[in-house]
Amino acid sequence: MHLDLQPRYGDEYTSHNVIADIRGSEKPEEIVIISAHLDSWDLSPGVLDDGVGVAIVTETAKRLLALDERPKRTVRLILFAAEEIGLLGARAYAEQHGDNVRNHQVGSESDFGAGRVYQINARVHSRAWPVIEQIAAELEPLGVTLGNRDASGGPDMLPMRALGMSVVDLAQDGTYYFDFHHTKDDTLDQVDRRDLDQNVAAWLVFTWLSANSPVHFGSGPNLVPQ
Ligand SMILES: [Zn+2]
């Protein structure tokens, strides 16, 4: 076997996180982050990583805007820049907003392709766990079960998670994800629209109930998720 590998870094340039807020009606200073990342590897269109993530959370925001009622907390849609080369957009966000971690109710990123959501995991204060159980109960008709208490939140949530932000995973079926991940085959024909619909439904439930919960999820430097 002969491998001809020619990876290289190009010139530096500036890219930007894209952020949109749906302002909360009662606690606008408190934020629920829903996110994905805009960049992808050069050799493919980057549909699964992370075009569908962008589609899922943007559609979630769009459907929230279509409701007559606004969420009580602010829902912040973030499309991160420069994830693939080291979470640069996410680190920049944490640098700018890290001292406001307490006002971040919870955050999550969709960054594992287009497979169906099968489980919700959460890293929140113990007093908020019953809320996670309620969210899981609402997700049950979608085929989603309650998982563990050690969510990562997704790659771009890690810098804020390290500062104590509560995070949730809507864990997706990744059976075929790594057949296409970071290859030229990461293309639109890998996406089943019904699975995307199921993702959006799950994200809507999670986002709405987190934004409207009377319970603060416990984000802060002393978050102890037990
Ligand atoms: Zn990704």
Residue 6 maps to a domain: no
What does the CA dihedral 211, 212, 215, 218 come to, rounded to 10 degrees? 10
Domain with 115 in it = 18-212
pLDDT tens digits in sequence order for the chain, 226 residues long = 999 988 888 899 999 999 999 999 999 999 999 999 999 998 889 999 999 999 999 999 999 999 999 999 999 999 999 999 999 999 999 999 999 999 999 999 999 999 999 999 999 999 999 999 999 999 999 999 999 999 999 999 999 999 999 999 999 999 999 999 999 999 999 999 999 999 999 999 999 999 999 999 999 988 865 4
Among 129, 126, 132, which Cα is nearest to 223's? Answer: 126
Among 57, 53, 64, 81, which Cα is nearest to 22's? Answer: 64
How many folded domains does the chain comprise? Answer: 1
- Residue pair 151/168 in contact (Cβ under 8 Å)? The answer is yes
Ligand 1 centroid, distance to 26 Cα (angstroms): 33
Residue 7 maps to a domain: no
* C-alpha span between 23 and 8 (Å, rounded): 42
- Tell me what the pLDDT averaged over the chain comes to: 96
Q: What is the reported pTM?
A: 0.95
Residues near ion ligand 1 (CB < 5 Å) are 49-50, 111
* C-alpha span between 226 and 212 (Å, rounded): 23
Q: Which of 83, 95, 109, 140 is catalytic?
A: 83
Ligand 1 centroid, distance to 93 Cα (angstroms): 17
Ligand 1 centroid, distance to 113 Cα (angstroms): 8
Concerning whether 83 is annotated as a catalytic residue, the answer is yes
Residue 197 maps to a domain: yes
Q: Domain of 100: which CATH number? A: 3.40.630.10
Residue 150 maps to a domain: yes
